Each structure stands twice: as structure tokens, then as C-alpha cells.
């Protein structure tokens, strides 16, 4: 049985589909069919209109992840493949610190996404190997080639990046909450107590869970 808070993420591929709702209603129906029968709360629905070709061009997905991080909700999608087959993006999702579920693959988890990312990465490496082989053959034929082709992350850099994951997640959490604070301030809320109340009303959880206090808001703002 599905329980808890959820934020739904829907993606349509073109602006025309976004305007017409083509494909959107089917995704919404799939999500609700999956959730129905449980004790759940759909705290937000986010719609992305984009081509899906670029994993770094999904601002609405980032907003959905932000909402999940700040409210403790679970990200829910109609189809897992709508989250991208790009290795870098899948790893980003895996490291986002957000629980997620797919209506078409309820048993999927961060491990599943990790496997998908590894498969996608393997495909990219295979393509890279073929490209390098073709370039090497071209050099043998005397073809002049310029520019650096491809980059490999040194092992020490990879270790350093891994060590910074938790710090990066904490910084991301601060940025996420600051977005909610900015929205509250834009609505005329200015006092620390008022901001804390606005965060609580939006369902944004405090750093260690529970509700915000004025002192916690001050500490967060001091980190800017």
C-alpha cells in the first residue's frame, strides 16, 4: 500500500503536446492508478515540456526534486524511462537524496537506477572506443586531427568528488530551502518567525526533521 507525501513529475516532449495535454493525461492517470488504494498525499505536480535530448535541460525536474528534498516527499513518475537513459543524469538522480517510485516499475530503486546508469555508461564507452579506433585509423592514413578528444577523470579526482558528496547534498539542501524562503519574502513575509511559519505551512522540513523555528531560519540565512 502506497503511503506518505508524493510529488509527481510529468514530461511531454514538445510545446504543442504541453499545450494540448497530449500524453499528459495518460501519465497523470498512471500515477493516480498507482497511488490509489493507499493513504497518500500528492503535494505537488510538476510538468516539464522539453525534448528529452539533454539531461541538463530539465529545470522542472530540478524543481520537483527540490520539493521532495524540502518536504520529505517521494518523487513519483508514470514511466521510469521518462527520467532519461543518460548515465550522468541517472547518477544525478541516484545522488539527489530523494526517494522515488515509478508507476510502471514499482520495485525500482536507487540500485536499479545505478545499474541503468552503468549500462548507459558502458554504451557511451563503447561508442567512445569505436570513435578512438576510427581516429587512430585516420591518423595512420595521414589525416591531421586537432583538439583533445575525450577526458578521463583521474582516480584521485574521483575519490575527492566522492568525499564531497555529503557536503554537496547539504549545500543543495540550503539552496532548496532558500528558494522557498525567497518565495515567502516575495509574498511580504520578512520576520524570521514569519519565515519559519511559512516554511512549516509549505511542508518544508527542518534540517533534522520537524518544524522550523526562527533560530533555525537565522542559522540557515547566515550560511549564505
Q: Number of H helices and number of E strands within the chain?
A: 9, 4
State how far the alpha carbon of 86 is from the alpha carbons of 71, 126, 137, 155, 203, in Å: 27, 14, 29, 22, 32
**Cβ neighbours of residue 184 closer than 8 Å, sequence gap 6 or more:** 194, 195, 198, 199, 202
What is the rounded CA–CA span in Å between residue 43 and residue 11?
A: 18
- Out of 13, 99, 110, 213, the active site residue is 13
- Residue 128 annotated to the active site: no
Residue 17, number of CB atoms within 10 A of its CB: 14
Contact 76, 40 (CB under 8 A): no
Q: What is the DSSP string of 98-117?
A: --EEETTBTT--HHHHHHHH
Active site residues: 13
Amino acid at each position: 500500500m502506497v503511503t506518505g507525501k508524493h510529488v509527481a513529475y510529468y514530461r511531454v516532449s514538445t510545446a504543442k503536446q504541453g499545450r494540448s495535454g497530449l500524453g499528459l493525461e495518460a501519465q497523470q492517470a498512471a500515477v493516480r492508478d498507482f497511488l490509489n488504494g493507499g493513504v497518500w498525499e500528492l503535494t505537488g505536480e510538476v510538468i516539464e515540456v522539453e525534448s528529452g535530448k539533454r539531461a541538463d535541460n530539465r529545470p522542472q525536474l530540478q524543481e520537483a526534486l527540490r520539493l521532495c528534498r524540502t518536504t520529505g516527499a517521494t518523487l513519483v513518475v508514470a514511466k521510469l524511462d521518462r527520467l532519461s537513459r543518460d548515465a550522468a543524469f541517472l547518477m544525478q538522480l541516484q545522488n539527489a537524496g530523494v526517494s522515488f517510485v515509478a508507476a510502471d516499475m514499482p520495485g525500482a530503486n536507487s540500485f536499479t537506477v545505478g545499474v541503468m546508469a552503468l549500462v548507459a555508461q558502458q554504451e557511451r564507452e563503447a561508442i567512445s572506443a569505436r570513435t578512438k579506433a576510427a581516429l587512430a585509423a585516420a591518423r595512420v592514413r595521414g589525416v591531421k586531427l586537432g583538439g583533445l578528444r575525450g577526458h578521463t577523470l583521474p582516480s584521485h579526482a574521483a575519490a575527492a568528488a566522492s568525499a564531497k558528496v555529503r557536503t554537496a547534498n547539504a549545500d543543495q539542501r540550503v539552496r532548496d530551502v532558500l528558494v522557498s524562503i525567497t518565495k515567502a519574502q516575495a509574498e511580504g513575509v520578512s520576520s524570521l518567525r514569519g519565515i519559519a511559519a511559512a516554511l512549516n505551512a509549505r511542508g518544508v522540513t527542518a534540517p533534522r526533521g520537524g518544524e522550523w523555528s526562527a533560530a533555525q531560519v537565522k542559522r540557515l540565512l547566515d550560511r549564505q
